[in-house]
Structure 1
Amino acid sequence: MYNKSGNQHYSIIPSEAQLCISGCGQQESETHLFLSCTLFGHIWQLIRNWLGVYSADPGNIVDHFHQFGTSSGYGKLRCSLMHLIWFATVWEIWKERNDRIFRGQERSHYQMLEAIKLLSFWWFKAKFTVFPYCFHDWCQAPFLCAGIS
């Protein structure tokens, strides 16, 4: 990449960005960013509300991943769908963090939620070539669209 003056420019995190981009004053770590940050951690509650799944968040990423996968039941397809949504959520949080640091752009919680719904819809649809549901259906009932009652 090159900046306006023609010099090569790299997106290197400045030292002040070691603090959480949300402005909470906490040191950024994977646990803080993805789980306990008041800004980004709230996304998980929105996701659970969307899915109609309720649970408490464990304190580390690995436990969170495992618990999230089984929070709607233990069937293989249920766990797979929940993990797909978990990865879409983590990816959107990471993209939002980078957009705030490197581009000065911010989305609201609800814009992020819609992006997670859309990304998980496309990922699920890409996995199953015969998928008769539209994005609106997915937003209303992802388990039903996945064939999970």
Structure 2
Amino acid sequence: MALTRRHIYVEDGSCSLCGSGDEDVMHLFTGCGFSSGVWSLVGQWCKIDPILAFHFNDLLGMHELIEGGKWAKKVIRGIMMVTCWAIWKSRNDKIFRGSSPRVIDVVAMVKACSFLWLKNRSNFGCIVWKDWALNPLYML
């Protein structure tokens, strides 16, 4: 949609992940059926209430709704950002590489990338993959 607004020809403006709706930031991250599946599984993995967002900014502020201390909020914020990146990467891989993304593969990427991010960029260098894969807030 952003390209169309800039008068750049786009053959098909529908969402590349779900095929319905115009592909814009709002749809891709909050209204797309594929993305909704990703958010649902990420919410279950984090053991938080279902992730329902009506605006992209809702996703960016989701960590503020998490019960727990400062680190719980930071971990969830990081997971939310990694999830947005993984959805965007999957969209680009489908468009530019012809891949067929699956929700479960995107969630696996979120788990792996967020684990590496936290392990290497925080005070939680001793986190363990097998525990992280079950619940990312286990160490708090």
Equivalent of residue 49 in structure 1, options 33, 44, 68: 44
- Which of residues 21, 26, 29 in structure 1 aligns to 2:24? 29
Q: Runs ≥4 in structure 1, deviation > 3 angstroms?
A: none
Which of 11, 18, 38 matches 1:16?
11
Q: 2:118 maps to which residue?
A: 124
* C-alpha distance in structure 2 between counterparts of 1:127 and 1:112, whole Å: 22
SS in 1 for 2:33: coil
Change (3 A) 1:56 1:131: closer
Deviation (angstroms), 1:64 = 2.5
Deviation digits for residues 75-115 of structure 1 (CA, Å, limit 9, x no counterpart): 21111111100011000000000000000012311111111
With 51-60 and 40-49 compared, the bigger mean Cα shift is at 51-60
User: Normalized against structure 2, the TM-score is what?
Assistant: 0.85
Q: Which residue of 1 aligns with 2:53?
A: 58
Q: Give me the CA root mean square deviation.
A: 1.9
Which letter maps to 1:15? Answer: V
1:111 aligns to what? Answer: 105
- Does the 8 Å contact 1:17/1:101 carry over to 2? no
Give structure 2 stretches of 5+ with no counterpart. 1-7
Q: Structure 1 vs Structure 2: percent identity of aligned residues? A: 26
- Cα distance change on mapping 1:56 and 1:143 into 2, 3 Å: closer
Q: How many residues align?
A: 133
Structure number with greater CO (CA < 8 Å, separation at least 6) is 2
